[in-house]
Amino acid sequence: MAWDPDADVDALVKKFCDARYGVISRAQAAVVLLTLQDVTRNTCSVPHVAMKPPQRIESDRARMGKMCDAVPRSADAENDPSFKYNLQRLGLMCTYAHRDLEIQHLRATSAPREQIVDKATALHAWVKSTPTTAYSSS
């Protein structure tokens, strides 16, 4: 977009998803990426961004939950190791956003501080324990 502000965004997204996720999963991957873009910048924990109402957070959390269910199924069905790996990584992004939204919902509903800290600590531990490679090429 910086090189060509008149570029066809839909075509660019399609080309990216074809290359990264394969023709079979490209449509789903595009939906997931656009959902992640919308949810993370609007509802997830972004510094200096106002907390959203609990209903909005829960709605976006439900959206991310659907992505968390769908992406691993696509990854499991994929035969190409590169596409499988990329789909697994996309699934990790969805899981992180979904768990972050759970914490945001607790904050928005004034849950006890200990409960929020426990969830944040668990998320941090999950991030640290999640392998940087989602599959083995052996």
Over residues 52-101, the pLDDT tens digits come to 999 999 999 999 999 999 999 999 999 999 999 999 999 999 999 999 99
Classified as helix, coil or strand, 3 is: coil
**Is the C-alpha dihedral spanning 53, 43, 101, 28 positive or negative?**
positive
Do the Cβ atoms of 128 and 78 come closer than 8 Å? no
What is the structure's pLDDT at 137? 41
Domain coordinates in residue numbering, the chain: 9-129
Average pLDDT score, the chain: 91
Residue 132 — very low, low, confident or very high, per pLDDT cuts 50/70/90? low
- CA 67 and chain centroid, separation: 8
CA distance 68 to 96: 9
136 pLDDT tier (thresholds 50, 70, 90): very low
- The single residue listed with the structure tokens 């066809």 is 8
How far is it, in rounded angstroms, from Cα 122 to Cα 47?
20
